[in-house]
Amino acid sequence: MTILVTGARGQIGRAVVDRLHSAGLAVRAASAHPTELTVPAGVETAELALDRPETFAAALRGVRQVFLYPQPAGIHDLVKAAEAAGVEHVVLLSSSSVLAPDAENDPLASHSLRVERALAGSGLTVTFLRPDAFASNSLGWARLIGRSLPVQLAYPDAHIAPIHPEDIADIAVTALTGDSLTGRSLTLTGSESLTFREQLAVLSETLDRPVPVEQITRAEAAEQMGRHMPAPMVSALLDLWEAAGHGPAAIGETTRSLLGVPARTYRQWARENAAAFTGR
Ligand SMILES: NC(=O)c1ccc[n+]([C@@H]2O[C@H](COP(=O)([O-])OP(=O)(O)OC[C@H]3O[C@@H](n4cnc5c(N)ncnc54)[C@H](OP(=O)(O)O)[C@@H]3O)[C@@H](O)[C@H]2O)c1
């Protein structure tokens, strides 16, 4: 029986495909743009656009487990198609933001929450992976650091427990291939709380050169962020970071607590991704 991985062009989906294939399991990698997928030789690919129900039946044929990237647009149709195809278990890449007060109206949380609710109301068995901030979010600083410009932040002392994307992939694969995590809702983090300033210090040590940090006002940060994302998203993120300034971030479930192996550290992520910050 086949495991379908949606979002297979994304960083987590790709890592899940690689792991399942290496374990000798039948995996189908799905994307709205299947010709742009890069998958190991022997991995089947499929067109699946989560907002285009006409693509669902073929992608789900013979599938018993699904790794799902959250897209609310077609979720009720996807649930029906999955039930009709005989899918047994869906592992959703959700977000810890669904636990926020007023998550329904929070632009960071609402799309994941709508997908969680549709799945919870279905006949499918589901596992919700709710990661906190990814370590890879630091790639947003790469252009500035690469050009030796200061990283400007409104809340440099906000605490985060960043999770290495590969840890999420490891946990997803365990959820897809066994029953130890089935039916659970798991808030996932890394094992250490680090402020943005501390993350930048780790990057500075890793790159062996100064990485200056400059505190700017909330209004200045909102103006900069608003060039790349909608205003409600900007406000929600700034609110989140402002609230995260009051003390170490809570540590949730990690690869240590769930799989018995140490969580990958932010330092490790920085070492692995140092080339992205060199400006070359
Ligand atoms: N970043 C965080 O801190 C954080 C925290 C908690 C939860 N999350 C959740 O995690 C999910 C993101 O996961 P991810 O980082 O694995 O996803 P990602 O790398 O952003 O890719 C997700 C999907 O976006 C599409 N896509 C569009 N343009 C792309 C491009 N140039 N390259 C690759 N993919 C592209 C692809 O789908 P198609 O191939 O079908 O077009 C891909 O599978 C989101 O749902 C987010 O809410 C993120």
Q: How much distance in Å is there from the Cα of 209 to the middle of ligand 1?
A: 31
pLDDT for the residue 127: 98
**Ligand 1 pocket, 163 CB below 6 A?**
no
8 A C-beta contact, residue 221 and residue 156: no
Q: Which of 134, 160, 188 to mutate to test the pocket of ligand 1 (most atoms within 8 A of CB)?
A: 134
Query: Has this prediction a pTM greater than 0.95?
Result: yes
CATH architecture type of domain 2-131: 3-Layer(aba) Sandwich (3.40)
d(CA 16, CA 172) in angstroms, rounded, equals 7
CATH number of the domain at 133-164+189-250+261-280, please? 3.40.50.720
10 alpha carbon to ligand 1 midpoint, in Å? 5
Residue 280 has a pLDDT of 62
Torsion angle in degrees (nearest 10) through CA of 234, 238, 244, 246: -170
Structure-token match 């959250």, residue found: 70
Would you say the CB of residue 33 lies under 6 angstroms from ligand 1? yes
Q: Which residues contact 197 (CB under 8 A, 6 or more apart)?
A: 156, 157, 213
Walking along the chain (280 residues) 10 residues at a time, the average pLDDT comes out as 96 98 98 96 95 96 97 96 98 97 92 97 97 98 96 98 98 97 98 98 97 98 96 96 95 98 98 91
111: CA distance to ligand 1 center in Å?
13
**Which ligand 1 atom is the nearest neighbour of the CA of 136?**
1
Where are the chain's structural domains? 2-131, 133-164+189-250+261-280
Residue nearest to atom 6 of ligand 1 (CA): 95
Contact 50, 114 (CB under 8 A): no
- Ligand 1 atom at shortest distance from the alpha carbon of 9: 43
pLDDT at position 259: 98
Which pLDDT score is estimated for 101? 87
Are 2-131 and 133-164+189-250+261-280 equal in CATH topology? yes
Angle at the Cα of 273 (from 272 to 275), degrees rounded to 5?
A: 115
**Residue to mutate (ligand 1; options 5, 9, 240; most atoms within 8 A of CB):** 9
**Ligand 1 binding pocket includes 114 (Cβ within 6 Å):** no
Strand-by-strand arrangement of the 185-188 sheet: 44-47, 27-31, 2-5, 63-68, 89-93, 125-131, 185-188
**b or e along 249-276 (b: 16 or more beta carbons within 10 Å of the residue's beta carbon)?**
bebbbbbeebbeeebbbbbbbbeebeeb
Which pair of tokens denotes residue 213?
A: 């940090």
